[in-house]
Chain A
Amino acid sequence: MEEEKKIRKPRGVARLIPGKCIACGARCQSDCPEDAIEMNEKGEPVINTAKCIGCRRCVKICPAQALEMYFTPEELKIIAGLAATVPEVVTTVEPGIKEYRGVWIFVEHTEGKPATVSWELLGEGAKLAKTLGVELCSLVIGEKVEHLCQESFAYGASKVYLIDAPVFQHYRTETYFRAICYLVEKYKPEILLMGATGMGRDLAGAVATKIKTGLTADCTGLDIDEKGYLLQTRPAFGGNIMATILTEKTRPQMSTVRPHVMALAKKDESRTGTIVRESMDIKEEDLPTRVIEVIEDATGEQLDLAGAEIIVSGGRGMCGSENFTILQELADELGGAVACSRAAVEAGWMPAERQVGQTGKTVRPKIYIACGISGAIQHLVGMQGSDVIIAINQDNKAPIFEVATYGIVGDVFQVVPAIINNIRELRERKVDK
């Protein structure tokens, strides 16, 4: 019909807005129906304007809004002249998607001991379920794990799908993933959340691939948009940017969610719900993997730097090996490990395997607390990737403050004990409540 009009609306050509491309991986090129886009060495699109038909697909697909439509001044005049109303394009929802309902939380546990992130997810899941007006359910899989059903209710679930059998004693990808696929296919949830832990990420990757649905890793924010899609926000590009991702056409929408980010749900022991018991016919002898041994990590002084989420590190300012005990005390309080700078190793206060820096270990904990470390470049390169850096140093000009997220200028021997006391007080108060 439009073709019958005398003046056709100019479609323009796509063009790159300088500096905005993030080299996402050639989405625009992939989506171009005319092969009008080549990628240059930097991973940015080069648009062949002769080939471009102005379909806007690349502009829409670009996650960084780095592409725009370009019109010549003449074309702009024509557009201004045309007061044509553009018909709204309606995205068609895949048939069958509506069948999927409910928000599911996978309850992670190790031999019956639940991971806190599961309860954080129930708190977040409750919000999502409320917005969507659907049920909040948990998935409990394991051996002798029925107690987790009651705990799920206490944290807000109204229904628990339970599979309890000896074959599920230890987590194994094979067994758990088959169980979840089975449940998902049978009960069709629209959202399935897991903790972005070692186990959660191992499991979610397998489940999403089997079900052929979208999975967003390590989310730090979840929301529901006006169409009811789950908006999954996560850091990308080494944390330099945030991306909001959604799964439009497939269900369930799956995310793994970073621990410690969502607020813990309020526990209410009085709440109850329904338990749906399921069973699966999995024989131990058919399984390809076997957990031979579980080795609990050493705690306290022996805790491995590589695995530590929190590292308390001391340098020359600690003035002696005996003073590292207060750092160990703080580390124990936080469940972290103690590290040190080269100076402390050289002085013989700490063993070499605890050294962080150029010639020691490179660490990326969630929190790095540098105590009495001036921050020589050799040290900084070993820890500056940490999420949060806290510097405690007497010298306010110490270079460590340049990389620190938070700094306290003061005496380590006063500040560190004060932090320890503060944490203990907070914990006691919490228990009292």
Chain B
Amino acid sequence: MLLNISTIVFAASITLFCWSCYGRFRLLLLGRPENRFNDVGKRIRGMIYYAFGQRCTVSHGYRFGWNHLVLFWSFMILLIANTEFLLEGLFPDFISFSLLPVSVYHPLAVLIEIASVLALLAVCIAMIRRLAFPPSYIEARSRDAFIILGLIALLMVAFFGLHASEIAQGSEEAASYMPISKFIASTVFSYVPSENMGGYISAFWWLHAIVLLGFLNYLPYSKHMHILTGIPNVFFRSLVKVNTQPREEFKKGNSFGVGKIDQFTWKGLIDSYSCTECGRCSDNCPATATGKLLNPRLVIHDIKVNLLKNGPLIAKKKDMVLPLIGGGEGSVSDEVLWACTTCGACMEVCPVFIEHVPRIVDMRRNLVEMNAKVPDELVSMFENMEQRSNPWGIVPGDRAKWAAEADVKPFETGKTEYLFYVGCFGAFDARSRKVSVAISRILNAAGISWGILGKDELCCGDSMRRLGNEFVFDRMALENIRIFKEKGITKIITECPHCYNTLKNDYRQYGLELEVIHHTEFISNMIKAGKLKLNAKDSGNVVFHDSCYLGRYNGIYDAPRNVIASVTGHAPIEMERRNDRSFCCGAGGGRMWMEENTGKRINVERVEEALKKDPGTICVCCPYCLTMFEDGLKAKKADARVQVLDLAEMVSGALK
């Protein structure tokens, strides 16, 4: 009778769980197609390394990641135990560990004992952490979090209770392989007569059953959905750095960008299920840190809420009730979308490889391309880009003006090897023009064959793509590619990391393979090759700032540091946040062209961090960073004692 009821309860619960999962899974199919099945071997290896190895949770100095690792592996082991429990519940007469040979059963029993106790410990640590040293974001202490932690703890208590009472009754033959249960049996249950143990056994069994089934059915509706989707999400991760956004096809009748939940790809949707709400993205986001409305975790959360709300309606071909772009829970506001600097810090630290930036750009595209809803200051910038191929709308004929101060030759097809692609800042901005001159000196000193396009150079379109104006970007890219092909350009040295990334990674989507080298890389190579001779001299405290598009986007961390060491004789002073955890200057993602009215200014935040190191020089590799740092120093009234130099300027000054 008892078992009959349990079979029904188990069957019903498992069916309900499967139904919930199916409901969630079905919604993923609403997304647009995207191929994430290529190179399966690499994906599996990655899954083992990142998910099973928990490389991503313990990385980046997150100490509590170890707690998760313990919990994760305890869970993996308990998965076996709980599967047995569920199957035993369904088919009581056929399935039980005790039916296994002793040589397997006994070690397994020990393992499960240990895993259970570790899980219980890990849960306690997690609870204490949330209560005593709460993480920066509020949801870490949500009801959801405590319910789950409580359920796990209860499950472990029930587990030990069940085994201890079985041992106390004397019905567990592997008692000696269950040290903790045995200890509890001999202490807690020692006063209970063994004939009364049956009641305890069934009570703990039911407690275990109810908690387990409850937990199972609670999962799909909580943030712990990631227990189910996290590992697949790691499998489906982008195999290359997410340093570009996909192309769009500009055909009549198409819809552009993402303005409705079903316009994301299925990967974009499963990302939202996989968020563990660990808050690392928000911790590292420069916008969140300086009080902007944007919080990358909430963007992903809103996508999930929107999917859950609208998804079933879409499946029934009904009208959606919640706009994706708007505001409020489940809806992302314009202001949030425009606040992103596309620095990629969120993606860098995400343990389950969620791709925040492409989602934000997807939605920006919708604002720009379908609704033409952009901040006022961008309208003129877009027009300038389209008409004059630079963000300020300066006369294109003035592009080569900087070259009057340097020894520069035009690029000649067939004769010149490297194109020095100066970029808009390097060509027009008075400060960055000095960097262009410095680079030209270095190129000449290295004795390579190089030239510029002068007034025929066009903007690469980086800002347009990040701002979601893919239509204009597409035209700019095609025009540049036409010029590169026409002139036979294959090797390009860039001044700006944004040009670098665009020419290298964005243009690859157009079938153009260029050898693109950022000047830091070039200088570093030339020093190594002995082609640049420098007079190393100590130039005081030099603090180095990583550019997002060089570092996180393209993995160039060492080259600039090596060069600084060659120039000054010692490694640069590092800021707290550096390398892949570096903090954006605030200008990327088109933010350079927009007002920053909310919260603290990002560049000021970063400058303050640099000033803690008492630098004489702040060394950067990007014209955006250069501008932002100089502005920030002026705002902090520190511009008299601290100078900002591009790496090329430091090198140029040290040339023999």
Contacts and interface: CB of A to CB of B under 8 A. Distances in A.
| A contacts B directly (C-beta below 8 A) | yes
Interface residues of A, number: 16
B634 A358 contact: no
B392 A377 contact: yes
B594 interface: yes
Contacts of B391: 358
A358 B391 CA distance: 9
Contact of B593 (A358, A362, A376): A358
A303 interface: no
A381 B394 contact: yes
B424 to A, nearest CB: 9
Contacts of A402: 430
The residue among B377, B381, B431, B595 with the most chain A CB atoms within 10 A of its own CB is: B595
Interface in A358-403: 358-359, 362, 375-378, 380-381, 399, 402
A346 interface: yes
Interface in A396-414: 399, 402
B80 interface: no
Nearest to A358: B392
B429 interface: yes
B142 to A, nearest CB: 37
Contact of B430 (A316, A358, A375): A375
A347 B377 contact: no
A358 B392 CA distance: 7
Contacts of B430: 375-377, 399, 402
Interface string B590-632: 0001110100010000000000000000000000000100010
Q: In terms of DSSP, what is the predominant structure of the interface of chain A?
A: helix
A290 to B, nearest CB: 34
B393 A381 contact: yes
A347 B634 CA distance: 10
A359 B80 CA distance: 61
A362 B393 CA distance: 12
A343 interface: yes
Contacts of A358: 377, 380-381, 391-392, 593
Interface string A233-253: 000000000000000000000
B635 interface: yes
Interface in B33-91: none
Contact of A359 (B394, B595, B635): B595
Interface in B166-223: none
A354 B130 CA distance: 48
A359 B594 contact: yes
Contacts of A316: 634
A352 B392 CA distance: 19
Interface in B508-527: none
B428 interface: yes
Contact of B631 (A343, A359, A399): A343
Interface string B412-446: 00000000000000001111000000000000000
Contact of B634 (A343, A352, A377, A399): A343
Nearest to B639: A316
B59 to A, nearest CB: 36
B408 to A, nearest CB: 19
A378 B635 contact: no
Given A359-B595, A399-B430, A378 B601 contact: no
A288 B322 CA distance: 51
Contacts of B627: 376
Given A359-B594, A399-B430, A402-B430, A381 B392 contact: yes
Interface string B388-404: 00011110000000000
Which of A316, A362, A377, A378 gathers most chain B CB within 10 Å? Answer: A377
Interface in A216-274: none
A257 to B, nearest CB: 30
A345 to B, nearest CB: 9
Contacts of A380: 392
Which of A316, A359, A362 has the most B CB atoms < 10 Å from its CB? A359
B377 A378 contact: no
A352 B598 CA distance: 13
A376 B428 CA distance: 10
B417 to A, nearest CB: 31
A352 B631 CA distance: 17
A322 B380 CA distance: 33
A377 B593 CA distance: 12
A347 B635 contact: yes
27 contacts: A316-B634, A343-B634, A343-B635, A346-B635, A347-B635, A352-B597, A358-B381, A358-B391, A358-B392, A359-B377, A359-B593, A359-B594, A359-B595, A375-B430, A376-B429, A376-B430, A376-B431, A376-B627, A377-B392, A377-B428, A377-B430, A378-B392, A380-B392, A381-B392, A381-B394, A399-B431, A402-B430
Closest 5 CB pairs of A and B: A399-B430, A359-B377, A381-B392, A377-B429, A359-B595
Given A352-B595, A376-B431, 12 more contacts: A343-B634, A346-B601, A347-B635, A358-B377, A359-B377, A359-B594, A378-B392, A380-B392, A381-B392, A399-B430, A399-B431, A402-B430
